[in-house]
Structure 1
Amino acid sequence: MCGRYLYDKSEQVLLDYYNEIRQRGVEIPDAATDIIYPSSPVITLGANPEKEIVPALTKWGFTGFKPSQLLINARVETARDKPMFKESFETRRIIFPMSGFYEFSANKKAYTFSEPNNILYVGGFYRMYSDPKTGQRQAESIIITTEPDTVVGQIHDRMPLLIAEKDVKQWILDDTFAYQYQHPVHQNLQAQAV
């Protein structure tokens, strides 16, 4: 995935997630909606202690080994093998709800991929991280990628791991289910040149 996605609050489900966070007294920066870039605060879905699926804010990207390094994606094929990702994938899976995502062709032309009248649910995970400068703890999140379907494959060699809406809770809570979820669900994705 090429570092941008869309969160359009004119879509009622996405607006509901946004409003639910605000009703808990959390201020949501403007960067968390519209076109989303790496290092932005983002709205994600995860499990609370009662195992209910709730929206929350995380920062998109894991701080890397160097201060300026930001890791925004993890391959589903290797996420459980890499020391930086293994524990988070196994214990803190989340969903990135979105309107669509961007991919770039080999000649750097941008395309958006979306499904008309539906939001997309993308698999991911998070970790708690202490900022070395401030000491403040924050949740950092990563999007999981997989091999592209036939629509995205015409443009790019990777895509986000799309999770069916009916499978969101299982993805977050059921380890066996999540470990076997290696390919995107069939969606009616449409590509549009930007």
Structure 2
Amino acid sequence: MAMCGRYLYDKSEQVLFDYYNEIRQRDGEIPDSAVDIIYPSSQVITLGANPEKEIVPALTKWGFTGFKPNQLLINARIETAREKKMFKEAFETRRIIFPMSAFYEFSVNKDPYTFSEPKHVLYVGGFYRMFNDPKTGQRQAESIILTTEPDEVVGQIHHRMPLLIAAQDVKKWILDDTFAFQYQHSTHQKLMAHAV
């Protein structure tokens, strides 16, 4: 797996609570799986553009349904996302952000670590597609997290990391194709590693 399959959404952080609360007030209840420790196939809080080009939070299911039974694709490499048939159109037209408190990675010895920037929310680049679930017949938004080469902190533990976007670049990532297509590496952030 290119990136450990979980991250932390701590809604005691004001910014993350505001996203959570905006969805709750607009759409009603939010599943418990959308907060705290987040796992693949969960409904998760992501940021995207509405028809008026405003950045708003919404729920998407983390993971693309694959071609094989029970296959779930949860991440894609930024270096090759536009070359893959399954990812190209979604990446080019429906980019989103996964806001989070921290992400998890495992060392080669399977020891878990969290990576975070104290007192700052992490914004991770991704994209989504609309998919008709053959089991339920329902249309749903499925999302993927993008990964990139690790920085010096994450690289000591794992060979990939989520594609971090600076807070001031969130809107550009979502709406500006030129910016997004040239964006290959995480912005420099002061990540700290913590053994779990």
Q: CA RMSD in A?
A: 0.5
Which residue does the alignment assign to 1:175? Answer: 177
Secondary structure in 1 matching 2:46: strand
Task: Give the aligned length.
Answer: 194
State the 1:99 CA deviation: 0.0
Distance 1:129 1:26 in 2: 22
Secondary structure in 2 matching 1:132: coil
Letter in 2 for 1:3: G
Distance 1:31 1:135 in 2: 22
Task: Calculate the TM-score normalised by the size of structure 2.
Answer: 0.98
Report the identity percentage.
84
Distance 1:101 1:165 in 2: 16
Letter in 2 for 1:164: A
Q: Deviations over 1:114-135 (max 9, x none)?
A: 0000000000000000110111
Letter in 1 for 2:111: K
Give structure 1 stretches of 5+ with no counterpart: none
Secondary structure in 2 matching 1:80: helix
Deviates more, 1:88-97 or 1:17-26: 17-26
Which residue does the alignment assign to 2:121? Answer: 119
Secondary structure in 1 matching 2:12: coil
What are the within-5 Å matches in structure 2 for residues 80-95 of structure 1?
Answer: 80-95=82-97
Q: After TM superposition, what 4+ stretches of structure 1 lie above 3 angstroms from structure 2?
A: none
Q: Deviations over 1:65-124 (max 9, x none)?
A: 013000000000000000000000000000000000000000100000000000000000
What are the within-5 Å matches in structure 2 for residues 35-46 of structure 1?
Answer: 35-46=37-48
Equivalent of 2:4, from 2, 5, 16?
2
Equivalent of 2:105, from 98, 103, 106?
103
Secondary structure in 1 matching 2:174: helix
Distance 1:14 1:25 in 2: 17
Letter in 1 for 2:156: Q
Which residue does the alignment assign to 2:78? Answer: 76
